[in-house]
Amino acid sequence: MMCERPPRSLRSRLPLTREPPKAAGGRSHAISNWSGRNVFETVVHIVNTSYHVYDAFQDFNAMDLIKINEHPHVRFNPLLREWVQVSPKRSDRPWQGQIETLAREQLPQYDPDCYLCPGNTRVDGRKNPQYESTFAFDNDFPALAPSVPDGHYAESGLLLARPERGICRVLCFSPSHDRTLSRMSGAEIGGLVDAWIAEYVSLAKESHIDYVTIFENRGAMMGASNPHPHCQIWATATIPNEPAKEVASLMAYRDRHGDCLLCAYMKMETRLKERLVFENEEFAIIVPFWAVWPFETIVISRSHIGSMAALEECGRNELAFALKNITWRYDNLFGCPFPYSMGFHQRPTDGREHDESHLHAHFYPPLLRSANIRKFMVGFEMLGTPQRDITPEAAASRLREAGGTIA
């Protein structure tokens, strides 16, 4: 519908002063705003300079997902409250851009020049122990410091800065230089899960720590400075941007619906099966309906628990197998060590209850067409809206087919 140019503050969400229209079948699309007030509100998408506003709940003809997937469209991410552009035909365009150098598939079991292998000396002169499972230590080049001056900087309400305290840790997965998650046994990954839990619990006890982020950057393409399989753990004095957005969305959904957003979403996806890649008794691996990266996945706990620390032994083992499963599929997809950034979102450690928290992990892999053609987040993705070239349904289908026999 045509409308006058809305005020700048209202361009992403316009309140309705009328009852929402009824869709086909007479079903009313009423939703409250995120603060829970009893009003009707809709998310809008402004698409050109004529200020056509497309109401997500207008009385358009119903269209099934197969039909929608034949055309460019946008999908809503309820965790971040952002839109994602899906352009299904764009991957057909010829590619004369950057071709990535393939990573070496065979790494030695031990590298005498690796700063993370057992018994080797790190840059600062400290020597690693002859560890036989996992090995955790304070990062030699931390991005955060546990002690910083108090105070803040402010200029006219626009220039704001404050010190941020924190702790940075490194956790080696295995003494073997070539033992990635996809090549580790279930028992070995189970030991890694136990180590993650110990780190989370220990850091949560620090009075100045409000959030613990456990993440892995796999591969040089993702900025990994050392190929020895390891992750980083950053414990921060405040909740970082991405989990903070999720916390707000989870709280708003709970207040509105009396349910957990991720519980409801996981149940829907395991029923529909269209984007489900793998499931066991405790976890489901899904290509999110709103995925941005080509083969992005989310690993969701079936139980409504806030952190890995709440997992029983069975749950820890099932998480280990789920991680083995998805990383194995990734490596099989293009027959190469699959790069990705992955990390866990868990309950904040700020002393509040955070009953809305639901344990999950995100995998963000960049590869698009092959082992040496990646997705770039540039141009419109940086200046406008994140965009993907293949549908999440197609990506999930290819990941299901990439399972094979898991060693």
In 263-358, the DSSP E strands lie at 276-279, 283-286, 297-301, 340-345
Q: Give the end-to-end CA distance of the chain in Å, rounded to a whole number.
A: 56
Tell the burial category of 61 from Cβ atoms under 10 Å away from its Cβ (0-12, 13-18, 19+).
exposed
Q: Dig out the tokens for 297 from the structure.
A: 């996945």
At residue 2, φ and ψ (nearest 5 deg) are -85, 145
Q: Which helix (H) or strand (E) holds 76?
A: strand 73-77
Q: How many CA atoms lie within 13 A of 21 on its CB side?
A: 9
Distance CA 74, CA 319 (A): 32
C-alpha distances (whole Å) from 388 to each of 48, 83, 326, 333, 394 are: 20, 11, 20, 18, 12
SS (H, E, C) 23-74: CCCCCECCCCCCCCCCCCEEEEEECCCCCCEEECCCCCCCCCHHHHCCCCEE
Q: Dig out the tokens for 125 from the structure.
A: 């002169």
**CB within 8 A of 233, min separation 6: which ones?**
136, 167, 168, 169, 170, 171, 199, 203, 212, 213, 214, 215
Distance CA 82, CA 69 (A): 19
Q: Dig out the tokens for 74 from the structure.
A: 């946008």
**Catalytic residue ranges:** 230
Q: Give me the helices (H) in 130-210, please.
A: 186-204
Distance CA 57, CA 24 (A): 11
Distance CA 345, CA 357 (A): 9
